[in-house]
Structure 1
Amino acid sequence: MNKTLVKKHTQVVLIEKKQRKRIKLVPPQKKIKQCVLKTSLKYFEIECKLQDEWIPLKAQEVLKVEAFSLEPELWIVPKSDKKYATILFEYHLHNDPTTYQIVFQVYQFRLELKLDNQCFDSPYTKDHSIGKYHWIWGKTNGEDAEMTQSNQQWGGIILADLDQDKDDFDFSENPQGGTTELVQLQVVLPFATLPPGIDLQLYLETSFSDAHYFGLYAPHNKDYQLILGSDKEKPPNLLAAQSQNKVYKTSAKIGLESQCFYLRANHLPNSFFDGIITIKLKLKGSKVKEVPIEVIAEDHLIVRVAPWLMMPNTQEVKKVHIIRIDSETAGETANSDQFIKKLRGILGDKLVVSDASNFDGDRWIQDEFVIGYCQGVKQVMPVVCDGPRDRGLNKYPQLHLLKADFGQVSIAGNKKSTLDSFGNLEVSPPVEGYPFGRIIMGASPKQGFKHSPRQIAHQLKGFLHAQKVQSPIEIFSDWLAVGHVDEIINFVPAHNPSSDKNFKMLIASSKKAIDVLSYVYFSDTHRVFYLPFEQEKQNSRDILKKWLHDYWEINHRIQLFLDWNRQLLKKELGLTEDDIIDVPVLFKERKSDRRALPLLPNMVNQLVITEANASFSIVPKSYGPVKTSAGGLTLDLDPNNIHYLFEDQLKTEFEAIGHQVYFVDDTDLYFKRGGGIHCATNVERAYFANKKWWKYKPPNAHDI
């Protein structure tokens, strides 16, 4: 009796857990008569397309040639966690006694790239399979952003490594050495057995653009080796899209087992980087010994780098930094000891004093840097943003601020202007749609000033826009000689406001200054007038007659600029007139370029202090017409203790909102050099401890 000849063909199929695998059932001959599935379907389900319909096959089911194509496609669907099984098909041909068999050796495995749970703020779930693929913001317009089990997950968040931890790869709790910002990345690849004779290769990949902004490290000989991305630059370079370090877009082959790597974000979002890092894990194979194998599987994840945020004046003050000036400073005649003594009496231990001699006489500490913060799920890091100004105080953060868990981002500029100084940055308190406030920066949006417009360095502007959460507003400040926002805009807390806001916006008003001076001149009720730098009182009528003649026109023109800014800010911040306090500021023209300087110390340029249950401002002494008594008599006191009419009006406005005020003379130290108290101080404030930025969707943001 002749034995039936059996010809067997073996094909390896690697199928990922919980995935369907599509394969081609290629018979050994074309003239096939019928096909039989000989395997029980305990662990897998087989689907075949018969007559344009996908149907599950049954064991021992005979498929005739007229029912399916000669090269049918099959779906293999796992039904259990069985790691290995075989599936057998038999073919019979016309006029051929040979039995042909195709054996599918099916290896089921799990390929997964997992991000550390500490990157996710999803208290109701341990499975972040949604959050690792999608980045979902919270609610729009500051609505209740809490998620429940049925909601989608927030995506992963990582802090940029901007501080000076003693050892970034020390993952223990170490208050002295700092808390690392690196997070764990796990590769999961459990094969029960590896298919024989098959060369499997596992790689990590990213895009070339993303590779400049993070580094992925593998343990190597008791150290850590960069395998993907790039090393951290010190300081980060935001002038160019590409790092100067070596960059790895694809890792070398990694082992075929579960293993851990460590992810570091090197940069904050900026002009070239939207803050989203994408990493892919790919399992690849090659043909070995006639055993064909297709591209196997891949997984990926995304994670967002936490943005940098500024703190508004409504946040509580922790420290106030100021620079001490003395007569030994080059070109200096004034001494700041008495000024600092007054501030110390008001601020107490919150005041931090450093000598100007250590910083080449530079006193404008507000202009050099801004102290903000970055918030992760488990950690908050104060971060100083050091701008393009780079004058004497450029080294102040390094000497007095930076340490473990206190970071720095440095932003350079190609063409510097005074608009790049951080006196030209302000942030509003929270408003509708922006629960962390909005950044306000001054530039030249009205097509420039006198055909010589100045603009903020595009690197700085791009950086601020890239943070998204406090979407910037650009107002017109180029008409000012210095050009800074803090000369015309400020914010103070309001403890019993007349509107639903808990703050008031201060805006310089040349119209109000002219109106006050006109009233004084024509009513002839305020006879005494003090000028900055003058010890003797002046006759107000003589001065005001000249000032109203010389400065009325320029202040009328400047009020048009201020009104344009006012309307823009009302629209962008959702303000009403009740939310605004007009502060009288009189301007004069600088002859060289016709830009404006304040004629008297600028009361908008004030230091705003917020405490747990109170707030106050330290304001430049205004000078000008002296306040009269109730009986109409001029209060002719010592010049240092005189109450000025401009001051009295501001004090009345502040009293109505429960905000105190201290007036301090800054003429010799700051005013005669074009600045004020705000320019000369820098404040550390508490971050928004009761808010998480990812729970609110900014109007300009989108989900991924």
Structure 2
Amino acid sequence: MSKQRTVYLECGKSTQVLYVIGTVINVDIYKPSPPLCQAFQVTSSPDVVCSISDRNNSNIAAQSANRWTLSEEIFLEIKVDQVSHTPNDKKVTVMFYRGDLAEPIDQMTLELTAIIVSLDVDADRDGIIEKNNPNKGSWKWGSKGHGAILLVNCDREEDSGIDNSDDKVSVLEDLEDMSRMILRTEGPNNLPDGYKLKLSISPPDKEKVQIFRHDMTKMTRVLGRTKMSTDVEFTKGNNEIHFFAEGLVFPNVEMTKLVTIHLDLLQKLHQDIPIFTEQVIFCLAPWIMTPNTLCPAEVFVCSVKYNVKFLEEFRGFVEKAQYKLTVCPESKNMSDLWIQDEIEFGYSEAPCKFLNVVLDSPRDRGLKDYAYKYLLGSDFGYIHVAGEERNSLNSFGNLEVSPPVTVNGKEYPLGRIIIGSSFPNSSGGRKISKAIQDFLIAQEVQSPIVLFSDWLAVGHVDEFMTFVPAPDRKGFRLLLASPDSCYRLFKKLKEEGYGEALMFEKQNGKQVKINEILNNQTLHEMNAFVQQCINWNRDVLKMELGLDEGDIIDIPVLFHQLNYLTKVSAYFPDMVNMIVIGKFLGIPKPFGPLINGKCPLESAVRSALEPLGLDCTFIDNFDSYHVRLGEVHCGTNVRRKPFTLKWWNMEI
């Protein structure tokens, strides 16, 4: 709909007006008409379009040299299609007549200086800032949607902190991480005095965005934080002023993710009066997690004095898979080997730019400075979230994401985030930090699911579930720890005469016979409870991810109660707690009984997963990780390539 502006004229006078092409000027003809006037006639310059309409906006007549009967129900609508070459070169004259007199008894004149003013952004998300896109002032999700995108500038181009932490642009490379905005003006070389342009943001947006103006020799901050508005000179002729917008914060539940930039053309009278206004809208780009089904880009592991043997095996596993391996030395990890718990790799994206972005947990142990000191850099962003430091549920082994799913017709093309907490609606127990949960919810594109994980000593969802790629069905399988399947396997071994076979036979720790495990009533009761907890989560995952039993594989795992805690941990190395890099699985070696030289626990996992085209490698993490209540997944991490789907093409 065209922007309307009402202008009042007086008989016997010429009124000069600055006109913005694309708007409509309305003139009341009846009120300023002289007494006893009965008719009027309108003439105008060739590139001025005039029409006569009634109060209901019904067109009565286009421009004509004929006289028209004067009535208080009609008014004049004026549009101009061409920019002025000189000030006031577009004219409209209204002449008033009495009876059949040939000469007008009075007239009034409108002199227009027609200009173009357009604040433009990449509203159709193709990387090009087109002129005056009709959808630049709104946001709509989907492949047929519109609205510009604002990338949070959380990387570091120089060794001076995160780029959006100050009000400066130190290097021009930083502009590549910002969203462009262009103010386009066109008009005569000499413009009427008393007009100016003003850019502004609303108070709620001042902490979301910072806008810089790029001149030939410098970058100047013009909006953001403490600066709510800025005057912009109206440049003469045909000109463009380039602005660059950087996001300051990722979406959160306390604010809308939309940012609005206002443009006003002001006329200085008693005070500045806007004669033209428009807006452009940006949407803050979210942080996105990557599931196991996406291709790895880089694998991470820590080196400490007591994981030398594990590291040797793990290095061979990654070399076989042919992916890049980064080893964090003890000088950087400060003897903290749980790199999965400290950080979560993800990314953020706009049409103009892709950023790897690492999410740093509030865990803050030996690895607390690793992400900021050694990962943050050019095109590698950083976020830190708040939380209770001593609550282990705030570590990111308690943070997973599913592959893409469709649930009851609703698509989640970027998957759904999965977090563990206490049992729903319970008053006690450990819960994941509200700050973390609110942050994940606010990203919106990976709608989180909350599971029950507080029954575990450490309390992380990766202790009882993971996802692996598959060539059929939904493109993946959900793996769940299953005490029931472990007991079935051990009972079968007993029936086959292997009840005296030893668990942990190759380990220095206490060995135990299969019969002893089967006869341990306390252990059996504890695992019956564990199975109920996992079954509850199984039902939630089936419902929230749209899965059926064919999408789930049970992995034999037993849990036992720790002497100093009421909660449980894995009895033998937890094979669900694996690392997935492409088709290659790095699985904790369970040290089950050896039957004819083979471990039946390993064989059960191979028979379930290898038909899916997966390559299983069992890695000894017993002394380095398992005895410290973690496994392979807890001590490793993977940065993955992004989804091909652009998040803004989702239907929300």
**TM-score, normalization by structure 1:** 0.80
Tell me, yes or no, if the aligned pair for 1:35 and 1:89 is still in contact at 8 Å. no
1:354 to 328, 347, 350: 328
Describe the superposition over 1:469-509 as per-residue Cα deviations: whole angstroms up to 9, x where unpaired. 222222111221211111011112224xxx42332211111
1:482 aligns with 2:436: no
Q: Please list, as runs of the form range in 1=range in 2, the aligned pairs for 1:25-424 lying within 5 A after superposition.
A: 25=29, 27=31, 31-37=35-41, 39-40=43-44, 42-49=46-53, 54-56=59-61, 58-59=63-64, 61-65=66-70, 67-68=71-72, 73-78=75-80, 80-81=82-83, 84-91=89-96, 99-115=105-121, 120-121=125-126, 129-138=133-142, 152=144, 154-166=146-158, 169=169, 180-192=176-188, 196=192, 198-219=193-214, 222-230=217-225, 247-256=226-235, 258=239, 259-287=241-269, 295-326=274-305, 335-348=306-319, 350-413=324-387, 417-424=391-398
Q: Greater shift after overlay, 530-539 or 357-366?
A: 530-539
Tell me, yes or no, if the aligned pair for 1:113 and 1:301 is still in contact at 8 Å. yes
1:653 aligns with 2:608: yes
Describe the superposition over 1:536-568 as per-residue Cα deviations: whole angstroms up to 9, x where unpaired. 784625622552x11222222222221121122
Q: Return the alpha-carbon distance in structure 1 between the equivalents of residues 476 and 557 of structure 2.
A: 21
Q: Please list, as runs of the form range in 1=range in 2, the aligned pairs for 1:6-17 lying within 5 A after superposition.
A: 8-17=12-21
Tell me, yes or no, if the aligned pair for 1:130 and 1:153 is still in contact at 8 Å. no
Q: Give, in angstroms, the shift of residue 27 of structure 1.
A: 4.6
Tell me, yes or no, if the aligned pair for 1:205 and 1:280 is still in contact at 8 Å. yes
Change (3 A) 1:532 1:676: farther
Describe the superposition over 1:123-161 as per-residue Cα deviations: whole angstroms up to 9, x where unpaired. 9x956714523433335xxxxxxxxxxxx5643234321
SS of the aligned residue for 1:666 comes to coil
Show the counterpart of 2:429.
453
SS of the aligned residue for 2:605 comes to helix
Read off the aligned partner of 1:544 and give its amino acid letter. Answer: I
Q: Return the alpha-carbon distance in structure 2 between the equivalents of residues 594 and 254 of structure 1.
A: 70
Tell me, yes or no, if the aligned pair for 1:533 and 1:668 is still in contact at 8 Å. no
Tell me, yes or no, if the aligned pair for 2:20 and 2:114 is still in contact at 8 Å. yes
Change (3 A) 1:293 1:315: closer
Tell me, yes or no, if the aligned pair for 1:46 and 1:56 is still in contact at 8 Å. no
Tell me, yes or no, if the aligned pair for 1:532 and 1:667 is still in contact at 8 Å. no
Change (3 A) 1:107 1:414: farther
Tell me, yes or no, if the aligned pair for 1:32 and 1:91 is still in contact at 8 Å. no
Show the counterpart of 2:618.
663
Q: Which runs of 5+ in 1 are unaligned?
A: 1-5, 140-151, 231-246, 327-334, 630-634, 636-642
Change (3 A) 1:294 1:537: closer
1:622 to 587, 590, 593: 590
Q: Return the alpha-carbon distance in structure 1 between the equivalents of residues 25 and 42 of structure 2.
A: 19
**TM-score, normalization by structure 2:** 0.86
Describe the superposition over 1:267-292 as per-residue Cα deviations: whole angstroms up to 9, x where unpaired. 2222234432221111121327xxx9
SS of the aligned residue for 2:498 comes to coil
Change (3 A) 1:179 1:516: farther
Describe the superposition over 1:275-317 as per-residue Cα deviations: whole angstroms up to 9, x where unpaired. 32221111121327xxx99631112212223322222212222
Q: Give, in angstroms, the shift of residue 320 of structure 1.
A: 1.9
Tell me, yes or no, if the aligned pair for 1:203 and 1:281 is still in contact at 8 Å. yes
SS of the aligned residue for 1:318 comes to strand
Q: Return the alpha-carbon distance in structure 2 between the equivalents of residues 428 and 50 of structure 1.
A: 60
Change (3 A) 1:359 1:377: same
Show the counterpart of 2:484.
511
Change (3 A) 1:47 1:270: same
Tell me, yes or no, if the aligned pair for 2:557 and 2:574 is still in contact at 8 Å. yes
Q: Give, in angstroms, the shift of residue 255 of structure 1.
A: 4.0
1:572 aligns with 2:544: yes
Show the counterpart of 1:640.
none
Tell me, yes or no, if the aligned pair for 2:157 and 2:171 is still in contact at 8 Å. no
Change (3 A) 1:26 1:108: farther
Looking at both structures, which has the greater relative contact order when contacts are Cα pairs under 8 Å and sequence separation is at least 6? 1
Show the counterpart of 1:235.
none
Q: Give, in angstroms, the shift of residue 57 of structure 1.
A: 5.8
Tell me, yes or no, if the aligned pair for 1:666 and 1:676 is still in contact at 8 Å. yes
Show the counterpart of 1:693.
647
Tell me, yes or no, if the aligned pair for 1:313 and 1:492 is still in contact at 8 Å. yes
Describe the superposition over 1:107-138 as per-residue Cα deviations: whole angstroms up to 9, x where unpaired. 22222101259x82279x95671452343333
Report the RMSD for the aligned CA atoms in angstroms.
3.3
Change (3 A) 1:293 1:207: closer
SS of the aligned residue for 1:361 comes to coil
Change (3 A) 1:363 1:657: same
Describe the superposition over 1:61-89 as per-residue Cα deviations: whole angstroms up to 9, x where unpaired. 44445x335xx543212355556312222
Q: Give, in angstroms, the shift of residue 668 of structure 1.
A: 1.8
Show the counterpart of 1:596.
568
Read off the aligned partner of 2:429 and give its amino acid letter. Answer: P
SS of the aligned residue for 1:304 comes to strand
Q: Greater shift after overlay, 645-654 or 293-302?
A: 293-302
Q: Give, in angstroms, the shift of residue 337 of structure 1.
A: 1.3
Q: Give, in angstroms, the shift of residue 681 of structure 1.
A: 0.7
